[in-house]
Chains A and B, each alone.
Chain A
Amino acid sequence: MRIFILSFFLFSSLFAHKLNLFVYDEDSKVIASAYFASGSYCNECKVTVFDDKNNLIEEGLTNKEGEYIVKNPKAKLLIKVEALGGHAAQSEFEVKNLKHEKEKIQSHNLLEGLFAAFLLALIFLGLKRIKK
């Protein structure tokens, strides 16, 4: 009976500390937010970030607000968080803005290339005129 009561309290206590992980992107940042059902943050909790092939990309600790900013986001991520006492949670996340960001960078690079080619052409034409 004692064991039963003890396990009941242990179970209740475990549930009260149910850990949740919510991953979202904001201002081109991927943020993993770890919190308990009661609303308190999971601070200094271990975070591990994996790509879609289950390769470890990075790891670190959450801040005081239970947040961890992913430094090297990939298109598909698996993020795990662990708190002391064995509480853990994980979440898969697809970075939708990553493609746009890449596209932005690519188009930016293309514009830079065109501008450089235009400048070169101008210099070339200038030099040609001077020679004449």
Chain B
Amino acid sequence: MKKLIFVAIFAVLANAHFLTFLPSTDNVTSKENSKITLNAMFIHPFEQNGMTMEKPEGIYYENKKAVLPLEETKKFDHKAWKSSYQIKKPGVYKFYVQPQPYFEPAESKYISHVPKVIVSAYGLEDGWDEPIGLTYEIIPLTKPFGLYAGNLFQGKVVYNGKPVPNTEVEVELYNDFGLKAPTDAHITQVVKTDDNGVFSFVMNHKGWWGFAALIENGEKEYKGKKYPIENGALIWVKAY
């Protein structure tokens, strides 16, 4: 029985937690939807349950061109954060969250996931394939704000601007559709980057999809002991 409980707990913990970062839209088409709301939460996107997200260092537009206001909120009964940004002119807008590294005792490591989203405003599409300049980053190779379910999404994982080959990219759907996975293995999809740091994934359902490239690098102390840091380069894209 003890074994069974342990296996059940482990199964829950083993499913990927994502720093989920969702804008109110990925396409600003009129002044009515030009004030973007950005929600940041630490959750299991497919299973739709959450964890507490401590106050992030910040939510930013571009590479700290603007520090956006933070407001505490709740998601799945846990602390989460939101912000907003008024888009005034046509352009491609990139936002990201810089969280505080979080210690995960179950995995004996620190987790530092930095998610980004890309929003097109008033039909301008130039620049979606340019990096923000984050230490760990996914650069989309597919236009990220005009996707359909069934599209192949490709991205390049970079560390300090250089491709990261042979690394795992976890993929989850923000499952607010009530979909049931046939097995736990189906909750988090995993693909790997090739020699050029490129990964590919076919999004088989509409909705927001999170891609998390996980790179273990560096150490951080917790109660006198050093633990590895799992650095996540994340991107969220919406399939229609």
What is A's interface to B at a CB cutoff of 8 Å? 18, 20, 22, 24, 33, 35, 37-39
Q: A20 contacts which of B88, B122, B127 (Cβ < 8 Å)?
A: B122
The answer to whether A37 and B124 have CB atoms under 8 Å apart is yes
B32 contacts A by Cβ under 8 Å: no
Complex interface: chain B residues within 8 A of A35 (CB): 90, 123-124
Main secondary structure of the interface of B (DSSP, over half): loop
Q: Report whether A20 and B90 are in contact in the complex, using a CB–CB cutoff of 8 Å.
A: yes
Tell me which residues across on chain A come within 8 A of B125, comparing CB atoms: 37-39
What residues on A are CB-neighbors of B122 within 8 Å? 20, 22
7 additional contacts (CB under 8 A) given A20-B90, A37-B126, A39-B124: A18-B123, A35-B123, A37-B124, A37-B125, A38-B125, A38-B126, A39-B125
* Inter-subunit contact B90/A33 (CB<8 Å): yes
9 sampled A-B residue pairs with Cβ under 8 A: A18-B123, A20-B90, A24-B89, A35-B123, A37-B125, A38-B126, A39-B124, A39-B125, A39-B126
Report B88-131 CB contacts with A as 1/0, cut-off 8 Å.
11100000000000000000000000000000001111110000
Q: Which parts of B60-110 form the interface with A (CB within 8 Å)?
A: 88-90
Q: How far is the CA of A22 from the CA of B88 in the complex (A)?
A: 10
- The size of the chain B interface, using a CB distance under 8 A, is 9
Q: In the docked arrangement, what's the CA distance between A61 and B125, Å?
A: 24
Contacts of A38 in B (CB 8 A): 125-126
Nearest chain B CB to A130 CB, angstrom units: 61
> Which residue of chain A lies nearest to B126 when distances are taken between CB atoms in the complex?
A39
Query: When chains A and B are docked, how far (Å) is the Cα of A22 from the Cα of B123?
Result: 9
Residues of B within 8 A of A37 (CB): 123-126
| Distance between Cα atoms of A35 and B92 in the complex (Å) | 13
Across chains A and B, which 3 residue pairs bring their CB atoms closest together, nearest first? A39-B126, A20-B123, A37-B125
Contact B89 A20 (CB under 8 A): no
Partner of A24, one of B88, B123, B124, B127: B88
Min CB distance, A105 to chain B, in Å? 26
Kindly list chain B residues whose C-beta atoms are within 8 Å of the C-beta of A18.
Answer: 123
Cβ contact within 8 Å between A22 and B89: yes
Bound state CA distance, A39 and B90, in angstroms? 9
B89 to chain A: which residues have CB within 8 Å? Answer: 22, 24
B13 to chain A, nearest CB (A): 44
Closest residue of B by beta carbon distance from A18: B123
Residue interface bits B41-59, CB-to-A below 8 A is 1, else 0: 0000000000000000000
Question: Could you tell me the distance between the alpha carbons of A33 and B125 in the complex, rounded to whole angstroms?
Answer: 15
Q: Nearest CB to that of A16 among chain B residues? A: B125
Q: Closest approach, in angstroms, between the C-beta of A59 and any C-beta of chain B?
A: 23
Question: In the complex, what's the smallest C-beta–C-beta distance from A117 to chain B, in angstroms?
Answer: 44
Chain B CB within 10 A, most for which of A18, A20, A22: A22
Closest to B90 in A: A22
A22: chain B residues within 8 A (beta carbon): 89-90, 122
Q: Whole-angstrom distance between the alpha carbons of A124 and B122 in the complex? A: 62
| CA of A24 to CA of B89, assembled, Å | 8
